[in-house]
Amino acid sequence: MRIERLAVVGVGLIGGSFAAALKEAGGVGRVVGVGRGRANLDQALRLGIIDEIASDPALGVRDADFVLLAMPVGQMGTAMAAIAPALAPHAVVTDAGSTKRDVVANAYAHLASALDRFVPAHPIAGSEKTGAGAAAATLFRDRNVILTPLAENTEQAVARVRGAWLACGARVTEMSAADHDRTLGVVSHLPHVLAFALVDLVARHRDAERLFALAAGGFRDFTRIASSSPEMWRDICVANRDALAEVLATYRRELDDLTTMLERADAAALERLFTRARDAREAWMRGNGGTSS
């Protein structure tokens, strides 16, 4: 299962950490990095995350037996079209995109010749940090990686992708692309847009200066994810806009209920809601919430 030659297209936090983790595990021979930012690739080379730089995706994936596409999902189609003609017949391809239905659709459009061995995946890890400089061999340890295999995938291709993520220390599960997008829409995409929206509200407020001056630790943690890459989150929101709009509507109904409780000064209803939420979060933290994700 060892990877002889790994091509990482997009050597950012995720792509760089994947290469670093496989190197640390002895699971890869040589790593070639492809990307738009030369300074970032040079840094990855200096850090030993990659062994060589390829100037374009087609050159980069030539001779690779494993290819990881790790760019914002809005660039996935272009990247697939660029590598498709150059892929070796035995190469397995996967991605690290935060949404899966759009990546699958792009694969059908731009990677039709390799549907047997393109295995979509999403490592649920990362942070608001970006770039190869933030990469870490430990990033995926005990984190969830979701595979959404295609009907066309060979068992061998799925096993190779699964094996690579296991070698990174991750826990690998499988589900449909639709289930993935609905699930992540609730627990990841929704909180991100809620955090962006709150900071935007404060920033545009007439008393913004005073508001920021008195914002404290609760605000800081709540909005940490609003320091995430706007480009990446633009792509995620556009790709998953139907599932996200649906859960946003549910959330707005939740806020409607809260508003009614406030208008009625319904202390008992507010306490019930807060207690339910507090208890659910504490149960989650006692499980895997605190340590593994």
Touching a copy of itself, residues 133-152 (CB under 8 A): 143-144, 146
151 vs 214 by CB, closer to a copy of itself: 214
169: left (phi over 0), alpha (psi -120 to 50) or beta: left
Q: How far is the CB of 26 from a copy of itself (least distance, A)?
A: 27
**Mask for 105-124, x = binds a copy of itself (CB under 8 A):** -------------------x
Query: What residue has token string 């030369």?
Result: 38
User: Which residue in 53, 88, 136, 202 binds a copy of itself (CB under 8 A)?
Assistant: 202
Distance in angstroms (rounded) separating the CA atoms of residues 238 and 105 = 14
Among 26, 155, 217, 286, binds a copy of itself (CB under 8 A): 217
d(CA 154, CA 172) in angstroms, rounded, equals: 17
- As measured in angstroms, the least distance from the Cβ of 44 to a copy of itself is 23
Q: How far is the CB of 189 from a copy of itself (least distance, A)?
A: 10
- The answer to the question of residue 72 lying near a copy of itself (CB under 8 A) is no
Pattern 1-30, a copy of itself, x by CB under 8 A: ------------------------------
Residues 242-261 contacting a copy of itself, CB under 8 A = 244-245, 247-252, 254-255, 258-259, 261
Rounded CA-CA distance 44/19 in Å is 10
**CA-to-CA distance for 216 and 52, rounded, in angstroms?**
45
Backbone phi, psi, residue 94, to 5°: -140, 175
Closest approach, Cβ 53 to a copy of itself, in A, equals 28
Dist. CA 11–CA 203, nearest whole Å: 32
**Residues 6 or more apart in contact with residue 158 via CB below 8 angstroms:** 119, 147, 149
> Are the C-beta atoms of residues 33 and 49 closer than 8 Å to each other?
yes
Which amino acid type is present at position 33?
G
Number of residues in contact with a copy of itself, rule: CB under 8 A?
95
Neighbouring CB atoms inside 10 A of 12's CB total 26
- Rounded to the nearest whole angstrom, what is the least distance from the CB of residue 56 to a copy of itself in the complex? 25
Cα–Cα distance, 31 to 66 (Å, whole number): 10
- Residue 151 or 216 with smaller CB distance to a copy of itself: 216
> Closer CB to a copy of itself, residue 89 or residue 291?
291
